[in-house]
Chains A and B, each alone.
Chain A
Amino acid sequence: MHEWALAEAVITAASEIAEKEGLKEVTVLKIKVGELQQIELDILEFALSQLKPDKFKNTKINIKIDKAELRCRVCGHQWIFSKEELDKNSAEAIHFIPEIAHTYIKCPKCGSPDFEVLRGRGVWLESIKGVR
């Protein structure tokens, strides 16, 4: 349910940008959601629809899923994260704080926890379109 907290962050940030750019109405809001965080899209969408202020009344919210791609800093191996390899508790911890991945995920080649998240970490604001 912390999808609500993230949705609130998205709406707050998007409102700030709309304000800055002098948009009276926001028509399109593009968001990217990384798979590492395993966001429940239904809840995120519902939360966004509940939290959005008037300016966003007719906004088309476009959510794109980004695969989580990891690269080992020790051996250079690159791989795609799949939550099926985690038990429920580890998956949940990563859901709250994606960096916890460094506790529960190891490089499948060399076993190191020293990897980089190339893409697909968390929630990201891609773009906003609207009318001035």
Chain B
Amino acid sequence: MGDPRISVVNERLKEIRNIIAVSSGKGGVGKSLTASILALALVKKGYNIGLFDLDFTSPSTHIILGIEGVQPREEKGIIPPKVHGLEYMSIVYYTSNYALPLRGEDVSNALIELLSITKWGKLDFLIIDMPPGIGDATLDIIRLIKNIGFLVVTTPSQLAFETVRKLVTLLKELNVRIIGVVENMKMNKSEFIQQQVKSLRVAVLGGISFDAKIEKSIGNTVSLLKTSFAKELEQTLEKLGF
């Protein structure tokens, strides 16, 4: 007859005003860094924020935010701990940093399980850090989460942008909301990507420069918020009116 978990997913998310998936067709473009710093910046603005790492095979946001030694609480479901002012959920609570080799169907199943048992509080934003590409996780959140919005990350490279073009086209065909495209790791003032994004009729959310010093701030949220990356991302938030 069926999988009962699906029915309860939107019930679990109903007290969240805005759900944003940080996504890209390409790997390594800065999705996790963007999702993490976006979450921190929104906390700083006084919003109630959740961050959900949905990259099950290569989770990274716990490293970026220096999250260690916390576990969710169990109470008729699981309640994500609040760390650095945000409700944080990741598969690493359960894998204790060992490898988790998953095939597509397993990814789907784990994703549905987490969506159906995680009890988020009342949130203004839930930020989701996505794995790269348009595979199972992406298709599942589109299928399961009503009103999800996509924040798409590219780099100045044509190689990245061509994958983003495909992602954006797919999202449009499926009538999924696209918040806009962020161009990360900018090295110069080229407007090539911005023009391309405009021709897709999607909002250009501005650029983030390549920051050779960012690595030193990984694991330290105070220091992350002081980076040029954070400053530039915050300007993007102004544009969005967040």
Contacts and interface: CB of A to CB of B under 8 A. Distances in A.
Contacts of B7: 9, 12-13, 16
Interface string B82-120: 000000000100111011111100110110011011010
Interface string B5-39: 11110010000000000000000000000000000
B78 A124 contact: no
B99 A103 contact: yes
B1 A97 contact: no
Given A5-B117, A97-B113, A103-B99, A123 B74 contact: no
A100 B117 contact: no
A1 B2 contact: no
Given A13-B8, A100-B100, A103-B95, A125 B2 contact: yes
Interface residues of B, number: 34
A126 B3 CA distance: 9
Nearest to A96: B94
A1 B8 contact: no
Interface string B138-170: 000000000000000000000000000000000
Given A5-B77, A93-B95, A97-B94, A123 B5 contact: yes
Contacts of A75: none
A120 interface: no
Contacts of B4: 6, 9-10, 12-14, 123-125
A126 B106 CA distance: 21
A100 to B, nearest CB: 5
Contact of A5 (B6, B96, B106, B119): B119
Contacts of A128: 1
Contacts of A62: none
Contacts of A93: 94-96
B201 interface: no
A98 B77 contact: no
Most buried by B among A2, A13, A122: A2
Interface in A87-110: 89, 93, 96-100, 102-104
A5 B76 contact: yes
A100 B1 CA distance: 25
Contact of A13 (B6, B103, B106): B6
Most buried by A among B5, B6, B96, B99: B5
Most buried by B among A89, A93, A99: A99
A17 to B, nearest CB: 7
16 contacts: A1-B75, A2-B74, A4-B77, A5-B8, A6-B4, A8-B8, A47-B76, A96-B113, A96-B117, A99-B56, A102-B106, A103-B99, A122-B109, A122-B113, A124-B4, A125-B4
